[in-house]
Structure 1
């Protein structure tokens, strides 16, 4: 074969390799770990910042530069920033438009799948409507789990801040040390606070933003203590030690209360889910047995009364076992 053929093969191979490398670089710049981390920190600052309106407007314009029409329409709705902050507190990469789209797509899918069963149409429609709340419940569960992690990590973070202050570091540098060396999700929140300070936000304002992004009572105590100390003076390391001891004692009492109320919480779950599980099994095993509940007028009244009583009972039991320490 001629040398031109071998040269063409080599050049084609080099072109394919360069194309693959270019595609990887493009994907990594848009969807890689560094890009996701940068986007998450920008969205976190946008969701919880209390900075000036001019700075926030510039950030929002950059964030909405390539937004879809649905996202632009949602931004016009009131309190949409609170929903975005809710998603950020859950530690999720979902946008408000993604959450709304998911809530709108699930009910038709559930309705289509439930049509293959022998359940009555009103029951199918009710289940389809209720399924729209599943993404919101999932986000709420993720948010509660992340806030519990933040609450558990707070004493160790205060200890690290106190050690850094005793070593002679400035408070802003101590925040940077916590953000760099501490595990997620607490490390990410302190990194965001340190970034705000570097961007020109005052320390008091950055701490207030931290308290707004992370709605934890103990963290608010920490922020209030730091702000008071900056106004009045004093040994901040000793103040942080006192806050850490108070938080840990409260955790001990809270764990003891959880153990004492475990039986009541388990009873609430069993009594709340058992009727629906048994009814679903009976609906698939013997569909005609439960038809009286929606075909007979008295059966409909009994069903409504039973569901109302169960809702009232679950609400009452949840209030009984929900003890705050």
Structure 2
């Protein structure tokens, strides 16, 4: 009976989404609105160009799904720009539609497991939300790792640009050298900036676009210094060398801070892993004692509450040890 109810709810949601999409497409017609906005953006009229600064970004957006009606539905949702930006920043080739499909499959799998095992409503909801959040957490993890690698490569890239400027090359040539010589992530990002400059976007705007794609404090220093130098003048090679030296000093200070806070991080890891290890040991030593936490309703609620409190504690200790430099 529970499985039949779950299937009925799933089919009802599918029919509701289909009906909502049909009504929205029939009366609002977002495809024609997007087409008119793109045509206005390319008409060359100053007023239209000023109102549609997002037109180049729209034209560069990736396809969200290979299924036409899903593509039209996702394309009409302006709130999905942040999710697509997250996928691009994580250097993921996964379309937004596949991301939603994967999240739905994992969430449904958690719901089905909890339903068949009769874990209860709260456990089913928790497993479903956990499964749905796994792709998002993985993409945020990939983005964070990619940004850290970008910051690690940035001082060497700035040194290469400073040497190119001292040798008499133009700024765009130095940017192109970075794009050709360095691997992902800094190489492709600088290559994209060079392409924007070659297509007619001015240098400050192209660098601000780079700053919007990559979340990095060091990159903000570089972009701000470059914009100020182009307005006021000065020796750009010396400015870039000073920024590179400042970034290296910041890395050195960050290493010292990590060494001083290593004890707190290790304590947090031990406190988080100890209940899990003890639960596994007790399961093998006295299985009947641990089965109460799974078979009994109160036991399941206690286990779920303990897990949530562990996650909250891990989050608090991580923020305490994560010192910004």
Which TM-score applies when normalising by structure 2? 0.74
Instruction: Give the equivalent residue in structure 2 for 1:106.
Output: 106
The Cα of 1:253 is off from its aligned counterpart by: 0.9
Q: Are the equivalent residues in 2 in contact too, given 1:106–1:132 (CA < 8 A)?
A: yes
Instruction: Give the equivalent residue in structure 1 for 2:262.
Output: 262
Q: Are the equivalent residues in 2 in contact too, given 1:71–1:96 (CA < 8 A)?
A: no
The Cα of 1:232 is off from its aligned counterpart by: 0.3
Q: Counterparts of 1:283 and 1:69 in 2: how far apart (Å)?
A: 49
SS in 2 for 1:323: coil
CA RMSD of aligned residues (A): 2.9
Q: 1:214-262: per-residue Cα shift (whole Å, max 9, x none)?
A: 1101001100000000000000000011101110011011112112222
Q: Within 5 Å, which residues of 2 pair with 1:127-166?
A: 127-166=127-166
The Cα of 1:263 is off from its aligned counterpart by: 2.5
SS in 2 for 1:244: helix
Is there any run of 5+ residues in structure 2 with no aligned partner, and where? Answer: 1-51
Instruction: Give the equivalent residue in structure 2 for 1:126.
Output: 126
Please tell me whether residue 235 in structure 1 is matched to residue 227 in structure 2: no
Q: Are the equivalent residues in 1 in contact too, given 2:119–2:300 (CA < 8 A)?
A: no
The Cα of 1:292 is off from its aligned counterpart by: 4.0
The Cα of 1:283 is off from its aligned counterpart by: 5.4
Instruction: Give the equivalent residue in structure 2 for 1:55.
Output: 56
The Cα of 1:297 is off from its aligned counterpart by: 7.5
Q: 1:264-287: per-residue Cα shift (whole Å, max 9, x none)?
A: 212212322332454356557755
Instruction: Give the equivalent residue in structure 2 for 1:72.
Output: 72
- CA shift in 2, pair 1:221/1:114, >3 Å: same
Q: Are the equivalent residues in 1 in contact too, given 2:64–2:95 (CA < 8 A)?
A: no
Q: Are the equivalent residues in 2 in contact too, given 1:151–1:216 (CA < 8 A)?
A: yes
Q: Counterparts of 1:229 and 1:158 in 2: how far apart (Å)?
A: 15
Q: Are the equivalent residues in 1 in contact too, given 2:268–2:318 (CA < 8 A)?
A: yes
Instruction: Give the equivalent residue in structure 1 for 2:323.
Output: 323
- CA shift in 2, pair 1:194/1:305, >3 Å: closer
Bigger drift between 273-282 and 73-82 goes to: 273-282
- CA shift in 2, pair 1:278/1:64, >3 Å: closer
Instruction: Give the equivalent residue in structure 1 for 2:86.
Output: 86
Q: Counterparts of 1:132 and 1:281 in 2: how far apart (Å)?
A: 30
Bigger drift between 259-268 and 276-285 goes to: 276-285
SS in 2 for 1:92: coil
SS in 1 for 2:323: coil
SS in 1 for 2:165: helix
Q: Counterparts of 1:188 and 1:274 in 2: how far apart (Å)?
A: 43
Q: Counterparts of 1:134 and 1:281 in 2: how far apart (Å)?
A: 27
Bigger drift between 170-179 and 187-196 goes to: 170-179
Instruction: Give the equivalent residue in structure 2 for 1:246.
Output: 246
Instruction: Give the equivalent residue in structure 2 for 1:288.
Output: 288
Q: Are the equivalent residues in 2 in contact too, given 1:87–1:139 (CA < 8 A)?
A: yes
Q: Counterparts of 2:283 and 2:174 in 1: how far apart (Å)?
A: 61
What is the number of equivalent residue pairs in this alignment? 273
